[in-house]
Structures are given as structure tokens and as C-alpha cells.
Amino acid sequence: MASDNATSDNNANWNDWLSGLQLAADPLGVWRLLERGTQALDTAQTPAQAAQQLAAAIDQERAQQDQAIGQLDEWLKHWAKGLRSLAPLLPDHDTDNLPPLGPFPRRQTLLQDLSRQQAAYQTALQAHLASFTTLAEDCTAAFREALARDAGEPLESLPVMAPKTLMAHWSAVAEPRYEAWLADTDTQARIADLVNAWSELTATLRALTDDGLEALGLPSARGLDDLAEELQRQRRRHRQDMAELRRELAALKARMDRESP
Amino acid sequence: MKSSTQRLEAALRRAADASRITEPVTPASVVMETDNAALHRFAPEGASGGPPLLIIYSLVNRPAILDLSLERSVIRRLLAGGLDVHLLAWHPPGQARRFLGLSDYVLGDLADATAWLDRHYGEAPHVLGVCQGGVLALCQAALADPDAGGFGARPRSLTTLAAPVNTGSKDDQLAQLARSVDFEALIRATGNVTGQGLAGVLASLKPFALGPRRYGDLAGLAEADDAAVEAFMRMERWMYDGPDLAGQAFAEFARGIYQKNALIRGTLELDGHPVDLARVTCPVFSAHALDDHLVPPPAAAGLGRHVGGPCEELALPGGHLGLFVSGRAHETLYPALINWLRTIP
């Protein structure tokens, strides 16, 4: 995730901006929450403390996610500003509510797309996080109940428990709930919405970046893609020609075998 | 008596040492290259050179899982069964190969490798497809039929291990998650799909088993023998060091197999050639695991109803990886497979 101090013009940097969009390492945010949860259980002394620290860990993770969502808007503005200074042909104002006018309609459309897709991505991410947070909170409540029920005493009066035992209780409670949540069609639809929104936004960012690079006469991802696609087309044609040649040779050989005395 | 912290530190030190061991368990040499893969032949000392067998591994992850340790090596098990074992090891595609499609792998690499083995040994190879590799192997076997295009040699027999051929079940979690994803848009954004990202998604299906439970007993490795520590780290590397996937092939597979269930519906085409499973007329052996969360039983079972040749099916208790590394698989599945292969004329 982006560092906490990446909010001002002065210290924002490319890594921070881009890390706000990096889904690859933990696409659903599951591992970060699991890591925080494990740390919470590892440092807890009593079951009550464990439940409290788990709830705090969930809150912290959610707060960090919310902060990252809030920063995304700022990162993208920085990014567009940077692009405009590199490639002044880009419009220097937001064009959300304007039709594409003038000599650069494609870029204006891309900027409009960017604005719309950013909102869609934030909405999808918020919906996913809200659902994931609800799940985590349900798990914490069930964890408290299970500990108290198993011991037959109020949670607050339970004695010190080994982290390993606490983790076993937590897994027993949270794992089936997590798997049921993941198998729910609404969850699956939310995850698909998130992935699709991310894909659209990232593709537009790539296209705008390519425009900037090409305006400076530099190689762009789009240009490299063109080369890769052409290479693959040539390889495929070569493969098809070779296969056809082999078939003809085999047919010829079969005919010669038949005709030889 | 060491404290738990001391034990954990000792375990981590041993695991770090073991992680530096990169030599394969079973030696192999490259005998030919296709456009996107190298054909390895496993030839440890004393190998007799029986009938050729070609392993087609999945494009996801690396085939190291088949040769994880001396005791749990599928490769060694097959060699000991008298087979001349070959493996088509995929080259990870760079960005320049992001437009590689399924047809390039099946009609190119698989066809070339089977044809080479056929020419080299004077007999068609047995083919063994692992997971996604099973789907690719089925496609090649169907299209090897001269009337379907004649791509490569028709296999002498075809074995699939946990191959996701029928993704229509509601219990197929990957298929359900994939159902509404726009994979074309995804690869437009990503180019290739990173192995790390895909490993993250797959691990997110079972985060407790692969997180707290797997690492919770790490301190126990402090007292384990070297082989166990090495096997743990080999498994760790296998899980999270998967190669990137060519974007186009990834999207084609996700759309064709997971969204359209096209192999079973008979609507899959490669380079315009329809893939008809009924054209797989060689003997088929299909094994799956009963508790597999990646390729659930309905996805792999029932292949015999679709292929044109005789089909033997075997279901084993356990999960996906158990099919390759569990004691049960090595005691029952591989001996059964080897005995079955011996019956193939």
C-alpha cells in the first residue's frame, strides 16, 4: 500500500500513485487482514484481549483501505498533471461534463473515461470492502461467543490462553464463514465488479500514458504490443504453413507407398 | 530445552538454507525444443528406456510438484514403472509473447512434441496431462485425428490428473468466481497475467489452510530431518513462484473452459478447428481427488461419457496437491496407473 505521507504535492511519487492500483499481490485484501489478525492473536494474553485486538485490527485495516481510496483521486490528479506537463497536448482541465470538442477528441474521451472509471472503481472497491468488513466483524462476534460458550464463562473472566489455541479457535470460527462468504453469488458478483472496474481504469491509464510517451517520441506499451502482436501473427502463420507442408508430405509419402510395387 | 522462539529461529534458519537448494530431485536433459517449451527426458542412472511417456504440465505453476522429493516423486514412480519419461516444460512468456494463444500451445508445441517422440521412438507416446495440462492434452489428442487436422501424433494412451474439463457445476468455485469477469478487459490492462497475482488469488480460496495453519507449525521444522525441511521449502517455492501466463492464452482458457464450458459442450475451437472429444479414441485414464477445491470432482469426473475411447476413472480421497504428493497417491494411484499403462497395446 502507499505510504501514509503520500498526500501532499511535495512528497507524492510515482510508486505511491501506482501502488494504489496494484491488485496483483493481494487482489482481495485477504492476506493483509489475515496478517493483521494473526499479529493480533499472537500478542494477546487473554481471550478478551484477543477479541478486542482482532476488532481493532479489522478497524485499522479498513481505515487504511479507506485512506487509500481517498488518496486515489489525488494520485490520479497528480498523475494527469504530470502527463500534461510532459505532453502539453492533453487538455489542461477536467472534461467530465463537456462533449469532446476541438482537435483532440480521443484524448478528451479518455480523460472523461478516466473520471467515470475512477468513480466506478472506487464504488466497486467500497462495496467489496464493506462486505469484507461485515464478514470480519461477524467472525469476531462469533469468536467471542464461541470462546465464552466453550468455557461456560463470560469472555472477560477467561484466563490467559496460548496464541496457538486462540488461533485454532479463530480459524474454526472464521474459516467456514469466509468460505461461505466467498461462495455467495453476491460476493462473487462484487469481486467481478471490482476486477472489471480495475481493468477498465488501468487500461485507460495505460492509454493516456502511451499518448504522453508517444508525444515525446518515446516507445509506448501500445507500440510494443503492436510489435508483439505482429510477431505472434508471423509465428502463427509460420506454424500453419509448416503444418500444411507436413500434411502434404505425409500425403505424398502415403501415395508413393501405395504406388510402389 | 529450547524456547518456542529459539525453535522457530532454528527452523527458519534451516528453511533458509533449504531454500537455496535448487537442483532438481531427478536429473533430466533437454532433448528438443518447441516454440514455447523444452522437452526434457528424465534419465537417472540405471534407467531402462521403456515406452515413451510425455507429461504435459499446466501453464500455471511449475512442474516441480511432480518431483518434490525422492520419496514423493511422480517422475521417479513412473520411471520405476519402466516408462521413458519426458516432460514438456513451458518457457514463461515475456511481454513479447503476450499474444500467445491456446492454439499456439496445442497445435504448435504439443503437436511438435508428440510428433517428435513418435518419430524418435518409432511409436506413439503415452501422454499424461496434469490439471490444465490435461485439457491441453485432450485438445491435442482430439485434433491429432487426421480428419480433425492431424496435429501431431495420436497418443498411445491419455491420462489426465485433476483436469478441469467440465466446469458447469455450481460447486466449482473458480468457475463461479470467473463467471462475470471480463477477461479481455483484464488482459488489456495487464498484458500477461503474473504468476504471483494468480498464486494470490488461488491462495485466497483457502487462506487459513495456507496461512496460519501452514506456518503455525513452522517451529516443528526445527526437529525435522533435512529431507522434510527441503520438501517444505520446495513446496513453498512451487506454490508462490509460478511463471507469468501469456495474456491471450489465459483469457481464452478462462473464457472457453471456465465461462463457456466449451470443451464439454463441444464448442471449443482452436484456429478454427473444432475440438471434438469423441475424436479421442485412445484408451483414457482419468484421476481426480475427492476433496479438490481447485478442480472439484464434478469438473474432472465423467470424462468417459465424452471421449471416444475406453476410459478408466479413479477417485482418491484428499485434495488437489495430494494427487501428486500424498502417500495414498503413491501407494495406490501410480501403481494402478502403471499397471493400466502396461495393458495398453
Average pLDDT over residues B106-116: 97
- pLDDT > 90: what percent of chain A? 31
CB contacts of A183 in chain B (<8 Å) are 173, 176
Q: Which residue of A has its CA nearest to B189?
A: A203
Average pLDDT over residues B219-240: 83
List pLDDT tens digits, range A131-167.
988 998 999 999 999 988 888 888 888 888 888 888 8
Same domain, A170 and A232: no
- Cβ <8 Å between B204 and A171: no
Residue A2 lies inside a defined structural domain of this protein? no
**Mean pLDDT over the full length of chain B:** 91
Q: Which residue has the cell 478454427?
A: B272
**Predicted complex ipTM:** 0.88
Q: Which residue of A has its CA nearest to B188?
A: A203
Task: Tally the domains of chain A.
Answer: 2
| Residue A236's pLDDT band (cuts 50, 70, 90) | very high
C-alpha closest to that of B254 among B183, B169, B196: B183
In the prediction, which pLDDT does B297 show?
96
List pLDDT tens digits, range B166-181.
999 988 999 999 999 9
CB contacts of A24 in chain B (<8 Å) are 194, 196-197, 200
- Select the residue of A185, A203, A243 nearest B185 (Cβ to Cβ): A203
What's the one-letter identity of residue B80?
A
List pLDDT tens digits, range B125-173.
999 999 999 999 999 999 999 888 899 999 999 999 999 999 999 889 9
Count of beta carbons in the 10 Å neighbourhood of residue B119: 9
Q: Residues B149-152: contacts with CB within 8 Å, 24+ apart? A: B149/A243, B149/B107, B149/B273, B150/A247, B150/A250, B151/A243, B151/B106, B151/B107, B151/B110, B151/B111, B151/B273, B152/B110, B152/B111, B152/B112, B152/B113, B152/B114, B152/B115, B152/B118
Same domain, A236 and A118: no
Please check the confidence at residue B226 and state whether its pLDDT lies above 70: yes
Residue B11 lies inside a defined structural domain of this protein? no
State the nearest Cα–Cα gap between A164 and chain B, in angstroms. Answer: 8
B-proximal residues of A, 172-191, CB under 8 Å:
174-175, 178, 182-183, 185, 188-189, 191
Helix (H, G, I), strand (E, B) or coil at B234: helix
In the prediction, which pLDDT does B44 show?
66
In the prediction, which pLDDT does A12 show?
42
pTM higher than 0.95 for the full model? Answer: no
- The CA distance from B152 to B143, in Å, is 8
CATH of the domain at B310: 3.40.50.1820
Residue B203 lies inside a defined structural domain of this protein? no
Grid cell locating A11: 512528497
Task: Tally the domains of chain B.
Answer: 1
| Residue B45's pLDDT band (cuts 50, 70, 90) | low
Residue A247 lies inside a defined structural domain of this protein? yes
In the prediction, which pLDDT does B178 show?
94
Same domain, A153 and A236: no
* Cβ–Cβ pairs < 8 A, chains A and B: 117
Chosen for mutation from A179, A205, A238, A248 (greatest number of chain B CBs closer than 10 Å) is: A179
Q: Which domain holds residue A235?
A: 221-261
Helix (H, G, I), strand (E, B) or coil at A25: coil
- Cβ <8 Å between A227 and B96: yes
In the prediction, which pLDDT does A134 show?
92
Question: Which are the contacts of B125, defined by CB distance < 8 A and separation ≥ 6?
Answer: B51, B52, B53, B54, B86, B114, B117, B118, B153, B155, B156
Question: Which are the contacts of B43, defined by CB distance < 8 A and separation ≥ 6?
Answer: B27, B28, B29
Same domain, A58 and A182: yes
Q: How many CA atoms lie within 13 A of A197 on its CB side?
A: 22
List pLDDT tens digits, range A202-213.
999 899 889 888
- pLDDT > 70: what percent of chain A? 80
- Select the residue of B176, B181, B205 nearest A196 (Cβ to Cβ): B181
Same domain, A151 and A225: no
